[in-house]
Structure 1
Amino acid sequence: MYERSKIVKRIATPSIALSALLATTPIAAEQYWSDTSLTYLYGDDYEVGDSDRQVLTLEYVSGYSWGKLFSFADRLESGNGDTETYIEVSPEVYLTEHSDSWVSNTSVTTTVEIGDGFTHYLYGLGVAFNAPGFDYLELDAYRRNNDGFANNYQLTATWATSFSLGNSRWLYDGFIDYASGISGVGPANLNFTSQLKLDIAPYLELKSPLYVGLEYVYWRNKFYIDGVNEHNPNLLLKWHF
């Protein structure tokens, strides 16, 4: 799922155009909800490249009668002056929906990963659960069509749970990606990324959530590089608008 690199405009342009087309089609007009957020991260324990980085993430998520769309764009600036951009677009089309079952929905799930000189396509099936204590909990299984090297498989789990401590409001969310090894490239890799966030909007009398907190990344065999294991805490500020 996560391969941050410099973006190539000739690759990004068709994907941006596709997103714009989806947003203007009649089926997309049946929109139930949407959320846009901007996140700032700072960490100094990155592996592969400079260890000191700032990340600005623009994220858009929306729900429709046919499913949902998740997308984000990362802009990274390293301490040595290097800059990178990485984009993901993930439409998900519901196959079934359930209101009175432990399974919330099943879906055909897809992702496009866009980076410097590559575009990876993922497709598979997903299951979302009505799990006590969770705002959402989902498991997706993908076939990865990789650009430039052999294809492989990926399992992705995503979750969010909100809770209160006294009068304070907290959110713990994240994802786990497990991608199988690729012959001639490297071993399987595991990316566990989670965020623990306090909503400070009530203290500032803001209507939309404003989170401060910590993101923690454990990435084993990062980018399929054997023995490169990242343990990376990041300071976090996230504003929903």
Structure 2
Amino acid sequence: MKSFGHKTVATVISTGVTAALLSLSANTQAADWSDTYLGYRYGTGFAEPFGSTDIAKNIFNLGHASGYKYGTNFLNVDLLLSDKNDPAAPNSTQGAQEIYMVYRNTVDIGKVVGKDLGAGPLAGYGITLGFDANSKNDAGYNSAKRMLVLGPTINFKVPGFLAVSVLALWESNAPYNKFTGVQTKRYSYDVHPALTAAWGIPFNVGPVGLSFEGFMNFIADKGKNEFGEPTAPEFNFDAQIMYDVGALLGSKNTFKMGFEYQYWHNKFGNSHKGAAGPGALASTPMIRAEYHF
């Protein structure tokens, strides 16, 4: 496996998954409720800035959500395996590999003060903090993103859940270019805001039980990038319709299958009208499956 920086993707994946499992174990022991699952999704319309717009990816993920005395936790680890249209090295037929981790902890203010703060359509308020981190071994950029997030969250009264947050983002990166052999020192972008939403809403079509799940991020530009070029506002919408297949077998909320769609405009803050090209604009249908335990 090709290396980048001082670590191989295999090392990063191993470290990330180990940290995720430790976090899951700690959360589960103290949780009022929890949902842990393994997932798989596949699509052929992925795109990468400065790269191709017809990338196929197999994506495996470990997800965990739980509630505790004062709020909720969410953790997701994606392993993204690209085909040769997103190569791991210059002139390579091997696809790139990426691991992307997201963690969010929302502290419910009402639970902390011991009072129901909900009113009308609002279920309550919280403070969300967390991080994103990734590592990727592709031909050109080799992202090593690190990002901290913090901001207020509003929870809405809906079947399932709907949470909307306004977050401040502290993001940095330290890419390694395999074409030139240049390692860029870790660079911090301007602190910038994001409007985010996450939801999971059950519904029925006749006798068929389904759920509408996903997230949305609108992220403002983050100043100049590590190469002195301006960044652009970014919009990412990712949603799926899932069917509880396990309910047919008498094991409700265990095995789900469905269809997912992602629309990503100015991916990672790169303008699709600039040098990043059409690879910074993606419209990607996918199939998805999850096993919950």
Q: TM-score per shorter chain, which class?
A: 0.7 to 0.9
- Deviation of 1:187 (Å): 0.6
Deviation at 1:215, TM superposition (A): 0.6
Structure-2 separation of matches of 1:205 and 1:45: 35
> Which letter does structure 2 place at the counterpart of 1:128?
N
In structure 1, the residue matched to 2:81 is 77
Deviations 1:179-238 (A, max 9, x none): 001222311000011001111112233344311111100111111111121100001111
**Match for residue 180 of structure 1?**
220
The equivalent of 2:178 in structure 1 is none
Secondary structure, counterpart of 2:32 in structure 1: strand
CA-CA distance at 1:107 after TM superposition: 1.0
Q: Tell me the equivalent position of 2:167.
A: 142
Residues 97-119 of structure 1, C-alpha deviation per residue, up to 9 Å, x if partnerless?
53763322211101211112332
The one-letter code sitting in structure 2 at the alignment partner of 1:232 is: T
Shift of 1:171: 0.5
Tell me how many residue pairs correspond in the alignment. Answer: 231
Any residues of structure 2 matched to 1:85-124 within 5 Å, and which?
A: 85-97=99-111, 98=116, 101=119, 102-116=121-135, 117-124=144-151
Give the whole-Å Cα distance in 1 for the aligned partners of 2:220 and 2:19: 29
Deviations 1:78-136 (A, max 9, x none): 112221111111111111253763322211101211112332101111110113xx311
The structure with the larger Rg is: 2
The one-letter code matched in structure 1 to 2:125 is T
1:10 positional shift: 10
1:127 and 2:154 equivalent? yes
Give the superposition deviation at 1:18: 11
* 1:168 equivalent among 204, 208, 214: 208
The answer to whether the 8 Å contact 2:257/2:288 transfers is yes
User: What per-residue deviation string (whole Å, max 9, x for no partner) do you get for residues 44-64 of structure 1?
Assistant: 000105611010111001000
Distance in 1 between the 2:47 and 2:219 partners?
18
Structure 2 portions without partners, runs of 5+? 1-8, 85-94, 136-143, 173-186, 226-230, 273-279
Distance 2:201 2:34 in 1: 18
The residue identity in structure 1 corresponding to 2:250 is E
Cα distance between partner residues in 2 of 1:46 and 1:18 = 28
Q: Deviations over 1:116-164 (max 9, x none)?
A: 2332101111110113xx3111111111011222221111011121112
Please state if 1:214 is matched with 2:243: no
Q: TM-score, normalised by structure 1?
A: 0.86
How far apart in 1 are the matches of 2:148 and 2:11?
A: 16
Residue in 2 that maps onto 1:3:
none
CA shift for structure 1 position 239: 1.6
TM-score by length of 2: 0.71
Q: CA RMSD in A?
A: 2.7
Does the CA-based 8 Å contact 2:24-2:64 persist in structure 1?
no
Provide the secondary structure at the position in 2 that maps to 1:184.
coil
* 1:231 aligned to which of 257, 260, 283: 283
Match in the other structure for 1:67 = 71
% identical equivalent positions: 24
- Secondary structure of the corresponding residue to residue 26 of structure 2: helix
